[in-house]
Structure 1
Amino acid sequence: MISPAVLLNVKEASRQFGGIRALTDVSIQLRTGELIGLIGPNGAGKTTLFNLLTGVYEPSRGEITLNGQSIGGKKPYQICHKGAARTFQNIRLFGEMTVAENIKIAYTQHAKYSIWSSFFRLPGYLRGEKEIEEKTDELLAIFRLSEHKDEKAKNLSYGAQRRLEIARALAARPKLLLLDEPAAGMNPNETRELMNLIRWIREEFDLTILLIEHDMSLVMGVCDRIYVLDQGKLIAEGTPDRIRNNRAVIEAYLGQEA
């Protein structure tokens, strides 16, 4: 049986802010179709790594490739075009825009009509807009947001805003989806729903997913493998069962006394 190809390869990535080293020689790999967890105590460097992967920061050292192409130092929009999309720990929607408009704006980067076609409302533009409208309606239905289509995004409940942010990320047609604490602020029932949703979108959209999350029930319940960071360094990698019983991981979370 042929192993899936490596989609994301991070090799000895480091990031330094002045005299503070936030990440030190971190190496991870995601193969196509995997759902991988990234965990660690507060301040471990998880979000810093996400910011390197999405172009918010440039690596101080090391190499990052997506689908075989270097993305280290690329702009966020360039990395998005190459197939990586993310959500944020603190939800970042266009609050004054409608729910539908938040999704449409992500679809337009793949629009097949030219600016001239748009300006003069030529047939190519009208066909493209119809396609975007249809795809937006599909995502709204999938994420149970259809009835809120014309509401401003800022007026949605917290859970609905989380779903909208994931839907918008999927509208960018990514190969790699980066989820930054998607269960933050959710109650246990919402977290269980989210767990099922993550499993479903992985299969339905043929995605590779990298997930930062503090809710261990979610991480252990959905991830194939887990990487663990502590103080900017990778301290463990393996299946949920191996990580659950890893002494270094237990000490990182609970202290050496434990």
Structure 2
Amino acid sequence: METNKPLLKVESVSITFGGLKAVSDINIEINKSELIGLIGPNGAGKTTFFNLLTGVYEPTDGIILLDGKRINGLAPYQITRKGISRTFQNIRLFNELSVLDNVKVAYHSNAKHGIFSSMLRLPSHFKGEREMEKEAIDFLKIFNLDPYLYEKAKNLPYGQQRRLEIARALATKPSLLLLDEPAAGMNPQETEELMNLISFIREKFDLTILLIEHDMQLVMGVCKRIYVLDHGQLIAVGTPSEIQNNPKVIEAYLGEEVS
């Protein structure tokens, strides 16, 4: 792989709903191991853009390349297998399943034992399941969720549910992780812990992360570069300092938050 090739390249991507352009002519490049922010006011098109990256929507125009290969037009599960995983603004866990089973479900997307060994209950199926469970438990220890292995996901405190959702997304072994407002609903202490967690997982798993977030302290604290959307259009890109002092961004979004 060329060292100067971006992991994600979005070229002139637009999507139209009923004649209205929700996202218009977006160009973004993200290099391997970068932690990038995506901000903008409500309705700016941020989550729509995530849905384009993950195959929920297909662009009306433009190309999305992951590691140099076109992914728009693929189904969401195919894009997950290619290496993009995400969390959601509203937590989406399997509430009635245990913490352990939530992560094991994600591991199944990369299971080594096939469907026939599972259907026929062959030894390879049981061996694969044991290996998967051990890997999932070891993984949950990293997120300090091992005390809750057999607890139903719905019974976890809110901050721990957020951790579990991130852990489940990482269990698919992505190269690019999309975090959609992970600090939503968190108190200041939980947000600070989340900042540390995001930085930790990026380094430990050598991940590339694209982060949507309204909490400016979090964005400015962890992101090296930030893209700004407004009314579906990209209006600025730069370092946290450059974004804080950009007149277009201040007018569209930040206001007094930059002081």
Provide the residue aligned with 2:114 in structure 1.
114
Separation in structure 1 between the aligned mates of residue 75 and residue 121 of structure 2, nearest angstrom: 31
- Is the aligned partner of 1:41 residue 2:41? yes
TM normalised by structure 2 equals 0.95
> What CA deviation, in whole Å up to 9, does each residue of 1:40-88 have, x standing for no partner?
0111110010000001111011110111111112111010000000000
Instruction: State the 1:114 CA deviation.
Output: 2.0
Separation in structure 1 between the aligned mates of residue 173 and residue 54 of structure 2, nearest angstrom: 15
Contact 2:13 2:26 in 1 (8 A): yes
Q: Which runs of 5+ in 1 are unaligned?
A: none
Provide the residue aligned with 2:79 in structure 1.
79
Provide the residue aligned with 1:12 in structure 2.
12
Instruction: State the 1:254 CA deviation.
Output: 5.5
Provide the residue aligned with 2:176 in structure 1.
176
Instruction: Output the amino acid matched with 2:109.
Output: Q
Separation in structure 1 between the aligned mates of residue 99 and residue 193 of structure 2, nearest angstrom: 20
RMSD: 1.4
> What CA deviation, in whole Å up to 9, does each residue of 1:72-123 have, x standing for no partner?
1211101000000000000111111111111000001111112222233333
Provide the residue aligned with 1:22 in structure 2.
22
What secondary structure is seen at the aligned counterpart in 1 of 2:88?
coil
- The verdict on how the C-alpha distance between 1:254 and 1:191 changes in structure 2, with shifts beyond 3 A counting, is closer
Contact 1:4 1:32 in 2 (8 A): no
Provide the residue aligned with 2:185 in structure 1.
185
Provide the residue aligned with 2:137 in structure 1.
137
Q: How does 1:142-153 map to 2 (within 5 A)?
A: 142-153=142-153
What secondary structure is seen at the aligned counterpart in 2 of 1:32?
coil
Instruction: Output the amino acid matched with 2:81.
Output: H
The number of residues matched between the two structures is 255
Separation in structure 1 between the aligned mates of residue 4 and residue 93 of structure 2, nearest angstrom: 34
Instruction: State the 1:3 CA deviation.
Output: 5.4
Separation in structure 2 between the aligned mates of residue 88 and residue 230 of structure 1, nearest angstrom: 20
Provide the residue aligned with 2:69 in structure 1.
69
Contact 2:244 2:254 in 1 (8 A): no
Contact 1:14 1:24 in 2 (8 A): yes
Separation in structure 1 between the aligned mates of residue 37 and residue 161 of structure 2, nearest angstrom: 22
> What CA deviation, in whole Å up to 9, does each residue of 1:156-205 have, x standing for no partner?
11111100000000000000000000000001110010000000000111
Provide the residue aligned with 2:127 in structure 1.
127
Instruction: State the 1:220 CA deviation.
Output: 0.4
- The verdict on how the C-alpha distance between 1:185 and 1:4 changes in structure 2, with shifts beyond 3 A counting, is farther
What secondary structure is seen at the aligned counterpart in 2 of 1:163?
helix
Q: How does 1:244-255 map to 2 (within 5 A)?
A: 244-253=244-253
- The verdict on how the C-alpha distance between 1:254 and 1:86 changes in structure 2, with shifts beyond 3 A counting, is closer
TM normalised by structure 1 equals 0.95
Separation in structure 2 between the aligned mates of residue 120 and residue 240 of structure 1, nearest angstrom: 55
- Is the aligned partner of 1:92 residue 2:102? no
Provide the residue aligned with 2:235 in structure 1.
235
Separation in structure 2 between the aligned mates of residue 125 and residue 172 of structure 1, nearest angstrom: 19
Same amino acid, percent of matched pairs: 64
